[in-house]
Chain A
Amino acid sequence: EDQVTQSPEALRLQEGESSSLNCSYTVSGLRGLFWYRQDPGKGPEFLFTLYSAGEEKEKERLKATLTKKESFLHITAPKPEDSATYLCAVRLILTGGGNKLTFGTGTQLKVEL
């Protein structure tokens, strides 16, 4: 059974203090690893998809990387507006061709001035 574990559960950073969030996974054949951002009271917002070990994707202050067992979301010089819960998910292909995403429970990031 696919499993996704995220750490830490919560993280407080000062503005400008870079850090990384971890997502470790156990799947039988990775078909894609996804990162989402979720603000309170809103739906998850898609950030990145990674498919193979060594792959990297960047968007503004965020960079996602992938190894055979885990993914990292690196946040460089964060700002208060980066405060959110970051979710990681792995993909299972469903009957009929759609996708099931198995999510971790998220890392709640708070960036303070």
Chain B
Amino acid sequence: DQQVKQNSPSLSVQEGRISILNCDYTNSMFDYFLWYKKYPAEGPTFLISISSIKDKNEDGRFTVFLNKSAKHLSLHIVPSQPGDSAVYFCAATRVFDMRFGAGTRLTVKP
């Protein structure tokens, strides 16, 4: 059962514009949601997280929004930069159980 879904396998945006990556989940017991970034031949690296009791968390150019009623979260990157080009994974966690989405490949064009 796929409890975390990223329905867009890829996204392409122009440098300087906003990138919006989306993620849906099914299990209301998750208590934290995280975004990881992954470059080729490397492991995922942590980007930003949000508690299930919050609806927004911001860190520099990155903002994560959580809509609990819709079981949906999104990552906004503003402004997008070519160095942001990578695969982004959404993850949801409850203690030891961390479930990942399949990832969205973001390409930021100069």
Asked if A and B are interacting partners, one says: no
Interface residues of B (CB under 8 A from A): none
